[in-house]
Protein backbone atom coordinates (compact mmCIF):
# COMPACT_ATOMS: atom_id res chain seq x y z
CA UNK A 1 0.00 0.00 0.00
CA UNK A 2 1.21 3.51 -0.77
CA UNK A 3 2.38 5.15 2.46
CA UNK A 4 0.97 8.49 1.31
CA UNK A 5 -2.46 6.88 1.16
CA UNK A 6 -2.21 5.24 4.60
CA UNK A 7 -4.72 7.09 6.83
CA UNK A 8 -2.68 6.69 10.02
CA UNK A 9 0.14 8.93 8.75
CA UNK A 10 -2.08 11.92 7.77
CA UNK A 11 -4.04 11.28 10.99
CA UNK A 12 -0.87 11.62 13.07
CA UNK A 13 0.28 14.70 11.15
CA UNK A 14 -3.16 16.28 11.64
CA UNK A 15 -2.96 15.58 15.38
CA UNK A 16 0.40 17.34 15.48
CA UNK A 17 -0.96 20.31 13.52
CA UNK A 18 -3.91 20.77 15.88
CA UNK A 19 -1.62 20.50 18.91
CA UNK A 20 0.71 23.17 17.49
CA UNK A 21 -2.23 25.50 16.88
CA UNK A 22 -3.26 25.04 20.51
CA UNK A 23 0.24 25.90 21.69
CA UNK A 24 0.03 29.04 19.55
CA UNK A 25 -3.21 30.00 21.33
CA UNK A 26 -1.43 29.86 24.66
CA UNK A 27 1.59 31.72 23.28
CA UNK A 28 -0.59 34.50 21.83
CA UNK A 29 -2.57 34.83 25.05
CA UNK A 30 0.62 35.24 27.06
CA UNK A 31 2.08 37.61 24.48
CA UNK A 32 -1.10 39.72 24.37
CA UNK A 33 -1.14 40.01 28.15
CA UNK A 34 2.54 40.97 28.14
CA UNK A 35 2.74 43.56 25.34
CA UNK A 36 -0.90 44.24 24.47
CA UNK A 37 -3.19 42.75 21.85
CA UNK A 38 -2.35 45.22 19.09
CA UNK A 39 1.39 44.76 19.41
CA UNK A 40 1.09 40.97 19.67
CA UNK A 41 -0.90 40.81 16.43
CA UNK A 42 1.21 43.44 14.63
CA UNK A 43 4.59 41.90 15.38
CA UNK A 44 3.34 38.40 14.67
CA UNK A 45 2.15 39.67 11.27
CA UNK A 46 5.59 41.20 10.67
CA UNK A 47 7.36 37.94 11.54
CA UNK A 48 4.90 35.91 9.46
CA UNK A 49 5.28 38.21 6.45
CA UNK A 50 9.08 37.97 6.56
CA UNK A 51 8.95 34.19 6.94
CA UNK A 52 6.37 33.90 4.16
CA UNK A 53 8.39 36.09 1.78
CA UNK A 54 11.49 33.99 2.42
CA UNK A 55 9.57 30.81 1.63
CA UNK A 56 7.96 32.34 -1.46
CA UNK A 57 11.41 33.23 -2.81
CA UNK A 58 12.99 29.96 -1.78
CA UNK A 59 10.25 27.88 -3.42
CA UNK A 60 9.99 30.29 -6.38
CA UNK A 61 6.26 30.65 -5.96
CA UNK A 62 4.67 32.62 -8.85
CA UNK A 63 2.93 35.93 -8.21
CA UNK A 64 -0.88 35.45 -8.12
CA UNK A 65 -3.24 36.85 -10.72
CA UNK A 66 -5.30 39.94 -9.98
CA UNK A 67 -8.42 37.85 -9.26
CA UNK A 68 -6.57 35.58 -6.82
CA UNK A 69 -4.91 38.60 -5.22
CA UNK A 70 -8.32 40.15 -4.57
CA UNK A 71 -9.37 36.92 -2.84
CA UNK A 72 -6.18 37.00 -0.75
CA UNK A 73 -6.94 40.57 0.32
CA UNK A 74 -10.56 39.79 1.21
CA UNK A 75 -9.67 36.70 3.22
CA UNK A 76 -6.78 38.49 4.92
CA UNK A 77 -9.09 41.27 6.10
CA UNK A 78 -11.61 38.74 7.40
CA UNK A 79 -8.84 36.86 9.22
CA UNK A 80 -7.54 40.12 10.73
CA UNK A 81 -10.97 40.90 12.16
CA UNK A 82 -11.57 37.44 13.57
CA UNK A 83 -8.06 37.29 15.06
CA UNK A 84 -8.56 40.57 16.90
CA UNK A 85 -11.90 39.42 18.30
CA UNK A 86 -10.68 35.95 19.24
CA UNK A 87 -7.48 37.01 21.01
CA UNK A 88 -9.25 39.91 22.73
CA UNK A 89 -11.61 37.30 24.15
CA UNK A 90 -8.75 34.97 25.00
CA UNK A 91 -7.29 37.64 27.27
CA UNK A 92 -10.53 37.68 29.26
CA UNK A 93 -11.66 34.05 29.47
CA UNK A 94 -10.19 30.55 29.75
CA UNK A 95 -8.66 29.15 26.56
CA UNK A 96 -10.80 25.99 26.70
CA UNK A 97 -14.03 28.02 26.83
CA UNK A 98 -12.99 30.19 23.90
CA UNK A 99 -12.08 27.12 21.84
CA UNK A 100 -15.36 25.40 22.73
CA UNK A 101 -17.40 28.41 21.62
CA UNK A 102 -15.38 28.74 18.41
CA UNK A 103 -16.46 25.23 17.41
CA UNK A 104 -19.77 26.78 16.32
CA UNK A 105 -18.07 28.27 13.22
CA UNK A 106 -18.53 25.25 10.90
CA UNK A 107 -22.26 25.24 11.67
CA UNK A 108 -22.53 28.94 10.87
CA UNK A 109 -20.66 28.17 7.65
CA UNK A 110 -23.53 25.91 6.57
CA UNK A 111 -25.86 28.91 6.44
CA UNK A 112 -23.26 31.20 4.87
CA UNK A 113 -22.68 28.57 2.17
CA UNK A 114 -26.41 28.63 1.46
CA UNK A 115 -26.40 32.43 1.35
CA UNK A 116 -23.18 32.97 -0.62
CA UNK A 117 -22.85 29.78 -2.68
CA UNK A 118 -26.49 28.77 -3.11
CA UNK A 119 -26.03 25.42 -1.34
CA UNK A 120 -29.04 23.57 0.07
CA UNK A 121 -29.29 23.03 3.83
CA UNK A 122 -30.73 19.62 4.74
CA UNK A 123 -32.98 18.90 7.71
CA UNK A 124 -30.14 16.94 9.30
CA UNK A 125 -27.85 19.96 8.99
CA UNK A 126 -30.51 22.16 10.61
CA UNK A 127 -30.73 19.66 13.47
CA UNK A 128 -26.95 19.80 13.79
CA UNK A 129 -27.04 23.59 14.07
CA UNK A 130 -29.68 23.32 16.80
CA UNK A 131 -27.37 21.02 18.76
CA UNK A 132 -24.58 23.54 18.36
CA UNK A 133 -26.79 26.40 19.51
CA UNK A 134 -27.79 24.41 22.59
CA UNK A 135 -24.12 23.90 23.34
CA UNK A 136 -23.47 27.64 23.16
CA UNK A 137 -26.41 28.27 25.49
CA UNK A 138 -25.09 25.71 28.00
CA UNK A 139 -21.64 27.34 28.06
CA UNK A 140 -23.09 30.83 28.41
CA UNK A 141 -25.44 29.66 31.16
CA UNK A 142 -22.38 28.89 33.29
CA UNK A 143 -21.30 32.51 32.95
CA UNK A 144 -24.71 33.90 33.84
CA UNK A 145 -24.86 32.12 37.18
CA UNK A 146 -22.53 34.60 38.79
CA UNK A 147 -19.41 32.47 38.42
CA UNK A 148 -17.90 34.96 35.98
CA UNK A 149 -17.81 38.74 35.67
CA UNK A 150 -19.29 40.83 32.89
CA UNK A 151 -15.95 41.12 31.11
CA UNK A 152 -15.89 37.35 30.62
CA UNK A 153 -19.37 37.53 29.09
CA UNK A 154 -18.12 40.20 26.70
CA UNK A 155 -15.28 37.82 25.88
CA UNK A 156 -17.77 35.09 25.04
CA UNK A 157 -19.61 37.51 22.76
CA UNK A 158 -16.34 38.36 21.02
CA UNK A 159 -15.63 34.66 20.41
CA UNK A 160 -19.06 34.20 18.84
CA UNK A 161 -18.53 37.27 16.66
CA UNK A 162 -15.15 35.90 15.59
CA UNK A 163 -16.84 32.57 14.82
CA UNK A 164 -19.14 34.34 12.35
CA UNK A 165 -16.11 35.83 10.59
CA UNK A 166 -14.36 32.47 10.74
CA UNK A 167 -17.37 30.83 9.09
CA UNK A 168 -17.06 33.36 6.26
CA UNK A 169 -13.36 32.53 6.19
CA UNK A 170 -14.22 28.85 5.68
CA UNK A 171 -16.27 29.78 2.62
CA UNK A 172 -13.41 31.88 1.25
CA UNK A 173 -11.02 29.04 2.04
CA UNK A 174 -13.07 26.69 -0.13
CA UNK A 175 -12.94 29.20 -2.99
CA UNK A 176 -9.22 29.71 -2.48
CA UNK A 177 -8.15 26.06 -2.10
CA UNK A 178 -7.75 25.37 -5.83
CA UNK A 179 -6.13 28.70 -6.65
CA UNK A 180 -3.07 29.03 -4.40
CA UNK A 181 -0.49 27.00 -2.47
CA UNK A 182 -0.45 26.92 1.36
CA UNK A 183 2.74 29.02 1.40
CA UNK A 184 1.18 31.67 -0.86
CA UNK A 185 -1.99 31.74 1.23
CA UNK A 186 -0.08 32.07 4.50
CA UNK A 187 2.22 34.79 3.15
CA UNK A 188 -0.55 36.98 1.80
CA UNK A 189 -2.72 36.53 4.89
CA UNK A 190 0.13 37.77 7.09
CA UNK A 191 0.90 40.59 4.66
CA UNK A 192 -2.74 41.74 4.43
CA UNK A 193 -3.08 41.55 8.21
CA UNK A 194 0.04 43.68 8.56
CA UNK A 195 -1.51 46.22 6.22
CA UNK A 196 -4.78 46.13 8.16
CA UNK A 197 -3.05 46.76 11.48
CA UNK A 198 -0.59 49.41 10.20
CA UNK A 199 -2.94 52.46 10.35
CA UNK A 200 -3.01 52.19 14.15
CA UNK A 201 0.78 52.12 14.43
CA UNK A 202 1.34 55.86 15.12
CA UNK A 203 -0.79 55.60 18.27
CA UNK A 204 -0.53 51.98 19.41
CA UNK A 205 2.73 50.49 18.15
CA UNK A 206 5.58 49.88 20.57
CA UNK A 207 8.82 48.02 20.08
CA UNK A 208 8.48 44.83 22.12
CA UNK A 209 11.09 44.11 24.78
CA UNK A 210 13.79 41.64 23.84
CA UNK A 211 12.21 39.11 26.20
CA UNK A 212 9.06 39.05 24.03
CA UNK A 213 10.81 38.48 20.70
CA UNK A 214 11.15 34.69 21.09
CA UNK A 215 7.41 34.45 21.75
CA UNK A 216 6.63 36.55 18.65
CA UNK A 217 8.81 34.31 16.50
CA UNK A 218 7.33 31.21 18.12
CA UNK A 219 3.75 32.32 17.39
CA UNK A 220 4.55 33.08 13.73
CA UNK A 221 6.48 29.84 13.30
CA UNK A 222 3.73 27.77 14.86
CA UNK A 223 1.15 29.33 12.52
CA UNK A 224 3.15 28.32 9.44
CA UNK A 225 4.13 24.88 10.69
CA UNK A 226 0.66 23.89 11.83
CA UNK A 227 -0.96 25.23 8.65
CA UNK A 228 1.47 23.22 6.52
CA UNK A 229 0.85 20.08 8.57
CA UNK A 230 -2.92 20.37 8.22
CA UNK A 231 -2.71 21.16 4.51
CA UNK A 232 -0.49 18.09 3.99
CA UNK A 233 -2.83 15.86 5.99
CA UNK A 234 -6.05 17.03 4.29
CA UNK A 235 -4.45 16.44 0.89
CA UNK A 236 -3.83 12.79 1.77
CA UNK A 237 -6.86 11.67 3.78
CA UNK A 238 -10.63 12.14 3.64
CA UNK A 239 -12.09 14.95 5.67
CA UNK A 240 -14.36 12.51 7.52
CA UNK A 241 -11.23 10.82 8.90
CA UNK A 242 -9.52 14.03 10.01
CA UNK A 243 -12.37 16.28 11.14
CA UNK A 244 -12.73 14.55 14.56
CA UNK A 245 -9.04 15.28 15.19
CA UNK A 246 -9.79 19.01 15.11
CA UNK A 247 -11.74 18.72 18.35
CA UNK A 248 -8.70 17.47 20.27
CA UNK A 249 -7.85 21.19 20.41
CA UNK A 250 -10.27 21.40 23.32
CA UNK A 251 -8.17 18.90 25.28
CA UNK A 252 -4.96 20.76 24.50
CA UNK A 253 -6.60 24.07 25.40
CA UNK A 254 -7.71 22.72 28.76
CA UNK A 255 -4.23 21.36 29.54
CA UNK A 256 -2.35 24.46 28.37
CA UNK A 257 -4.79 26.82 30.08
CA UNK A 258 -4.33 24.97 33.35
CA UNK A 259 -0.53 24.73 33.10
CA UNK A 260 0.18 28.25 31.84
CA UNK A 261 -2.61 30.31 33.39
CA UNK A 262 -4.14 28.19 36.17
CA UNK A 263 -7.51 28.05 34.35
CA UNK A 264 -10.12 25.59 35.63
CA UNK A 265 -12.40 23.55 33.38
CA UNK A 266 -16.09 23.82 34.32
CA UNK A 267 -18.93 21.34 33.82
CA UNK A 268 -21.00 23.71 31.61
CA UNK A 269 -17.99 24.15 29.32
CA UNK A 270 -17.54 20.38 29.01
CA UNK A 271 -21.25 19.77 28.37
CA UNK A 272 -21.58 22.64 25.90
CA UNK A 273 -18.46 21.61 24.01
CA UNK A 274 -19.85 18.08 23.72
CA UNK A 275 -23.10 19.34 22.19
CA UNK A 276 -21.31 21.63 19.72
CA UNK A 277 -18.91 18.88 18.64
CA UNK A 278 -21.82 16.46 18.18
CA UNK A 279 -23.56 19.02 15.98
CA UNK A 280 -20.43 19.59 13.87
CA UNK A 281 -19.85 15.87 13.36
CA UNK A 282 -23.50 15.41 12.40
CA UNK A 283 -23.17 18.25 9.88
CA UNK A 284 -20.00 16.70 8.45
CA UNK A 285 -21.78 13.35 7.98
CA UNK A 286 -24.64 15.18 6.28
CA UNK A 287 -22.23 16.46 3.62
CA UNK A 288 -20.66 13.06 3.20
CA UNK A 289 -17.23 13.97 4.51
CA UNK A 290 -15.99 14.75 1.00
CA UNK A 291 -13.52 17.40 -0.02
CA UNK A 292 -16.15 20.13 0.04
CA UNK A 293 -16.85 19.63 3.72
CA UNK A 294 -15.59 22.75 5.49
CA UNK A 295 -12.83 21.55 7.79
CA UNK A 296 -13.57 23.09 11.19
CA UNK A 297 -10.11 24.38 12.10
CA UNK A 298 -10.69 25.41 15.66
CA UNK A 299 -8.32 28.34 15.86
CA UNK A 300 -10.02 31.48 14.49
CA UNK A 301 -6.82 33.43 14.89
CA UNK A 302 -4.73 30.82 13.16
CA UNK A 303 -3.05 33.28 10.83
Q: Is residue 302 part of a domain?
A: no
Q: pLDDT digits over 125-181, tens only?
A: 777 778 888 888 888 877 665 555 677 778 889 998 998 898 888 778 767 767 878
Q: What is the pTM of this model?
A: 0.84
Q: Is residue 88 part of a domain?
A: yes
Cα 254 to Cα 3: distance, rounded to the nearest angstrom: 33
Domain containing residue 141: 9-286
Q: Within 10 A of 22 (CB to CB), how many other CB atoms are there?
A: 27
Domains in the chain: how many in total? 1
Q: Is residue 19 part of a domain?
A: yes
Q: Is residue 303 part of a domain?
A: no
Q: Which residues contact 191 (CB under 8 A, 6 or more apart)?
A: 45, 49, 52, 76
- Cβ–Cβ under 8 Å, residues 13 and 242: no
Q: Which residues contact 101 (CB under 8 A, 6 or more apart)?
A: 136, 139, 156, 159, 160, 163, 272, 276
Nearest alpha carbon to residue 160 among 104, 112, 107: 104
Q: Is residue 183 part of a domain?
A: yes
- Cβ–Cβ under 8 Å, residues 189 and 269: no
Q: Is residue 266 part of a domain?
A: yes
Q: Is residue 52 part of a domain?
A: yes
Cα 283 to Cα 245: distance, rounded to the nearest angstrom: 15
Nearest alpha carbon to residue 90 among 127, 40, 135: 40
Q: pLDDT digits over 69-100, tens only?
A: 999 999 899 989 999 999 999 998 889 889 98
pLDDT tens, the chain, 303 aa long: 444 445 788 888 888 988 998 999 999 999 999 999 999 999 999 999 999 999 999 999 999 999 999 999 998 999 899 999 999 999 988 898 899 888 887 778 777 777 776 777 777 777 777 888 888 888 887 766 555 567 777 888 999 899 889 888 877 876 776 787 878 888 998 999 999 999 999 999 999 999 999 999 999 999 888 877 877 777 677 666 777 777 888 889 999 999 999 998 888 888 888 888 888 777 766 654 443 444 445 455 455
Q: Is residue 298 part of a domain?
A: no
Cα 122 to Cα 286: distance, rounded to the nearest angstrom: 8
Cα 18 to Cα 14: distance, rounded to the nearest angstrom: 6
Amino acid sequence: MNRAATPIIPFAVCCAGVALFSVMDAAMKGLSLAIGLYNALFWRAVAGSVLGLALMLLLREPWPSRAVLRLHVLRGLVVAGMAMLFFWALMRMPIAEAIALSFIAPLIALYLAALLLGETISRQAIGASVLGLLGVIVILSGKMRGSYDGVALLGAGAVLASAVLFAWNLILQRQQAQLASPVEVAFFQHLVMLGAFSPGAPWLLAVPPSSALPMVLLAAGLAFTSLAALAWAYARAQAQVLIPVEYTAFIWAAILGWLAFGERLTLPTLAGAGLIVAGCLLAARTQGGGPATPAPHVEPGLL
